[in-house]
Chains A and B, each alone.
Chain A
Amino acid sequence: DGGITQSPKYLFRKEGQNVTLSCEQNLNHDAMYWYRQDPGQGLRLIYYSQIVNDFQKGDIAEGYSVSREKKESFPLTVTSAQKNPTAFYLCATRQGWTGELFFGEGSRLTVL
């Protein structure tokens, strides 16, 4: 099946720990995105990548890091520098510069 796979679906972290969320796609899309969603709010852009080995900061990049070593993969690391990391994280892809986004099923991170 073509699509976007995010893992894990649920993740618990102790304060001070880094965690990495996985996003893999087999749609052959160039652009990949990470969004954060908090209850009752819209999506906020963390990082995006429009080509392998290149990525750009979004509106709320502080405390997060990414890599794009392969077209299929765009992992997000939530570092200990992110002060309020509990949220729902969504990965998305897009074929070109404009047009619709395709989303994974999300990863819910809870800090204990």
Chain B
Amino acid sequence: QSVLTQPPSASGTPGQRVTISCSGSSSNIGNNDVYWYQQLPEAAPKLLIYKNNQRPSGVPDRFSGYKSGTSASLAISGLRSEDEADYYCAAWDDILTGRVLFGGGTKLAVL
């Protein structure tokens, strides 16, 4: 079971705004930046959000990241069919000597 907790699924209709949560603790999200990755079907994950709320070039501004305390969230506005994918949060965890942690992933369905 992942230390970063995400809901297994989420859904929305085209044009809607959906949010995906990621819950951690003081040793990871509470003390480090959060990253989000999008994994389209049959593809490798792709960086979507870095350092909590920054978008790499080429990522539409429909995607937004937020962090507060030991939780983070990804918001997708103006939902489109091509947004149907798995979404993963990630953060460094300071416990013991440290490691990268991924959330369990959220499968987003566009109905």
Do A and B belong to a common assembly? Answer: no
A residues touching B (Cβ–Cβ < 8 Å)? none
